[in-house]
């Protein structure tokens, strides 16, 4: 389980550095690309926003009177900050019953599935990280209703995700051949 519980990358602002540090993450991103037709950089940009690449990320604990814990605002968890209900839909639809939200490979496959479904349901391009993130945050129905329009803070966050995806895409173009050639080397000789 190479994708499980890896530490966050030392340089999360550079997709090439991320994949050089965590080689198995590149394999997972390529698998999601091949399976779901999603570009490598988009789910990674969304995942960075959601968890900063922490395998056990969760929303902060909320407190009553400032010291009595009452639970978390959401049941989102893991690399993708997937909510339990959405994760359960993914498991049911893909048959990936042994998947874990804290496993990078599974989280990347989940992100690919979500982007694929968003494209099918709301017609959003698999390359449009900003609109994909709005769907991710608001849900397919919320996005369709335009619930994000009254959330200026969320629009700013989706702009950040879009900008990060564009940076990642430009960086990826510069290291894709190296990553692919080392992948082929590992396939045949590793």
Confidence of residue 6 (pLDDT cuts 50, 70, 90): confident
pLDDT interval class at 190 (50, 70, 90)? very low
Contact in structure between 34 and 47 (CB atoms under 8 Å): no
The set of residues, in sequence order, having a beta carbon less than 8 Å from that of 121 and lying 6+ positions away, is: 140
Q: What pLDDT, on a 0 to 100 scale, did the predictor assign at position 77?
A: 59
Q: Measured between alpha carbons, how far is 84 from 88 in angstroms, rounded to an integer?
A: 6
Q: Name the range with the highest mean pLDDT among 57-66, 76-85, 94-103, 143-152.
A: 143-152
CA–CA separation, 12 vs 25, rounded Å?
13
What does the pLDDT average to over 99-128? 95
Q: State residue 67's pLDDT score.
A: 55
pTM for this structure?
0.87
Q: To the nearest 10°, the Cα dihedral for 168, 169, 173, 175?
A: 20
């Amino acid at each position: 389980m190479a994708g499980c519980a890896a530490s966050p990358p030392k340089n999360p602002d550079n997709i090439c550095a991320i994949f050089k540090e965590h080689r198995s993450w590149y394999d997972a991103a390529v698998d999601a690309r091949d399976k779901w037709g999603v570009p490598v950089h988009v789910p990674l940009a969304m995942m960075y926003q959601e968890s900063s690449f922490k395998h056990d990320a969760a929303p902060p604990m909320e407190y009553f009177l400032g010291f009595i814990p009452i639970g978390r605002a959401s049941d989102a968890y893991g690399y993708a900050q997937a909510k339990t209900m959405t994760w359960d839909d993914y498991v049911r639809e893909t048959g990936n019953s042994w998947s874990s939200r804290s496993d990078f490979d599974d989280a990347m496959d989940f992100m690919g599935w979500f982007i694929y479904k968003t494209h099918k349901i709301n017609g959003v391009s698999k390359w449009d990280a900003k609109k994909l993130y709005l769907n991710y945050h608001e849900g397919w129905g919320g996005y369709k209703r335009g619930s994000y329009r009254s959330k200026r803070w969320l629009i700013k966050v989706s702009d950040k995700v879009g900008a990060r995806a564009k940076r990642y895409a430009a960086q990826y173009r510069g290291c894709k051949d190296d990553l692919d050639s080392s992948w082929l080397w590992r396939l045949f000789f590793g």
